[in-house]
Amino acid sequence: MTETELKFLIAKPDLAKLWTLPALREWIKDAPARQSKTTYFDTVGQDLWKRGFILRIRSTDGYLIQTIKQDQSSLVDRGEWERQIQPPPKGAPLGPDLAMIEDTPLADAIDESIRPGLRPSFEIDVERTAFPWIVGDTLIEVAIDRGAIRSVDARGSTVEISELELELKRGDRKAAFVLARTLAAQAPLHLSLISKAERGQLLLARAVGLPAKASEPRLSDDMTIDAAFVAICSACLHDFMLNAAALDGGDPVEAVHQGRIALRRLRAALALFKPVRRDGFARMNDQLMWLAGIFGAARDGDILCTGGGAKASLGADAPDFSQWRKARRLAAHKAVRAAVQSKRWRIFLIDLCEWIEDDRSAPEPPHDREAALARFVRKRLKRQRDALVRPVRDLARLDPVARHKLRIKAKKLRYAAQFFHGVSSVADREQLECLQVCLDKLQSALGDLHDEEAKRGVAEAEIRLWRSAGGHIEAAAPDAPERLVAPTGDHAKNLGKAIKAYARLLRTDPF
């Protein structure tokens, strides 16, 4: 059985607004609120979670419902199996009905040795207001949850929940997205790919609100082209959402950095699959570029502030410039937070997810599914690789602009190839790993060169703005930008590394 669900986060102070929305007022007015407690089970080593499954028991109104869910690498669809189970004997602890597992894919994912180790991992207590939303042949269950997730270990740490869910029970999936857009236009609802189960896992790992590095999409050799596209985009958006949630945490600089990487990986995925997703590509890419630009401005400010030298460069006026630069940096981070909270981004994110899930590509014959994906990806990656190495470039003679363009091409190929690291039919794994190493070294060396050059350009622009805005026209020495961004690396050494990596790349062609 497949579950189609859209989940939205909403700030606790805004929850009351949901009862006043024109799209929900008629349906919500008589809906009762029910308390429920859900216990999630796994092993100490999180064997179920690592295999893409969750196992939970929900207690509502005296009934126990056991549910198994399977990640299907989709933005909105998951496998779901549920059944009412009997309560444990008096005095016995709550535990899963293992017989139910036999009728689900989980039976093949975990062997007999794992099942005895299943134990409670965390609990979720919520007050749920649920009601049907019916228009024509469409039935959507709307649920509003308020409560908390609690770990069951000695720490007993918690994280609050306030969210709205739309679960399609009957009808066309498009109706769920139409309702989602309507609600997001009326209230600050934020589409989320971070499930309650994952937030429970983050709580156990003490990682709630922390930046997250890039994750690998779950791909397989027998996937269709479209399924691979959805899985990759889902992973990139998931990573972005984790880092967007961390912008107000303890390390906003890293959250901006990793969020920017997630956006770049997503755009690399869109570019890779453009031949099968041309309709709507330009709009999706343009909107992602808009947000990436805001993240990029904040990242540039963070990089500049690591350069040091401001006091020595600007003499007596250094305190004024330092405070001005700090204010600019804070404003850039504020602009990032405002962008991800904006109505523009909230509604676009719904459009993007619907577009990603909309399969308009021609179906591959069942017997040719593996060959179709591998053939398509090899052709696209080879084209990117050839664009990088033909014509052969003398890096020592390239100007900074040309080197930067080369770095961007290397980065796009690296991101795109990374997605298929575990798909053996795409390329020889050893050769693909060699390509990744070459691209990583080339990108790193060219990146160090670019950072030094970019810092100087940003510093020049910042000092011009500071002089103009504050009347410091004659305050700073003419060479202040150069001294403000004193070289932190070895230009010749980094260029040598880039040349060496590029030479090896010329000899590496896994496609």
State pLDDT tens for residues 82-131.
999 999 998 899 999 988 888 899 988 888 888 888 999 999 999 999 99
Residues 66-86 have pLDDT tens digits of 999 998 777 777 788 999 999
Amino acid 250: pLDDT: 83
Judged against a pLDDT cut of 60, whether residue 436 lies above it is answered with yes
Amino acid 43: pLDDT: 93
Amino acid 15: pLDDT: 94
Amino acid 486: pLDDT: 56
Judged against a pLDDT cut of 90, whether residue 457 lies above it is answered with no
User: Which range has the worst mean pLDDT, 156-170, 352-366, 465-479?
Assistant: 465-479
Residue predicted with more confidence, 181 or 399:
181
Band the pLDDT of 309: cuts 50, 70, 90: very low
Q: What sign for the dihedral angle of Cα 226, 229, 235, 241? A: negative
Q: Mean pLDDT across the chain, nearest whole number? A: 88
User: In this structure, are strands 119-135 and 53-60 parallel, antiparallel, or unpaired?
Assistant: unpaired
- Our CA angle for 404, 261, 506, nearest 5°, is 45
What's the average model confidence in pLDDT over 179-191?
96
Q: What sign for the dihedral angle of Cα 58, 64, 65, 67? A: positive
Residues 468-507 have pLDDT tens digits of 776 554 555 555 554 555 555 688 899 999 999 999 999 9
Residue predicted with more confidence, 155 or 208:
208
**What φ, ψ does residue 224 adopt, rounded to 5°?**
-75, 165
How many other β-carbons are positioned within 10 Å of the β-carbon of residue 386?
11
CA distances from 48 to 106, 120, 157, 268, 291 (A): 8, 12, 22, 31, 35
**SS3 category, 22:** coil
Report the distance separating Cα 192 and Cα 161, nearest Å. Answer: 13
Band the pLDDT of 461: cuts 50, 70, 90: confident
- 212, with CB counted inside 10 A (0-12, 13-18, 19+), is buried
What's the average model confidence in pLDDT over 350-364?
78
DSSP states of 45-74: T-HHHHTTEEEEEEEETTEEEEEEEEE-S-
Q: What percent of the chain has pLDDT over 70?
A: 88
Amino acid 300: pLDDT: 85
CATH architecture of the domain with residue range 2-208: Beta Barrel (2.40)
What's the average model confidence in pLDDT over 360-367?
51
- 410, with CB counted inside 10 A (0-12, 13-18, 19+), is buried
Q: What percent of the chain has pLDDT over 90?
A: 63
- 220, with CB counted inside 10 A (0-12, 13-18, 19+), is middle
What's the average model confidence in pLDDT over 388-407?
88
CA distances from 67 to 59, 80, 83, 84 (A): 11, 7, 7, 9
Domain range summary for the chain, segments of one domain joined by +:
2-208, 287-506
Residues 191-227 have pLDDT tens digits of 999 999 999 999 999 999 999 999 999 898 889 999 9
Report the distance separating Cα 304 and Cα 135, nearest Å. Answer: 54
Band the pLDDT of 310: cuts 50, 70, 90: very low
Residues 6-34 have pLDDT tens digits of 999 999 999 999 999 999 998 998 899 99
Residues 264-295 have pLDDT tens digits of 999 999 999 999 999 999 999 999 999 999 99
pTM of the entire predicted model: 0.89
Band the pLDDT of 460: cuts 50, 70, 90: confident
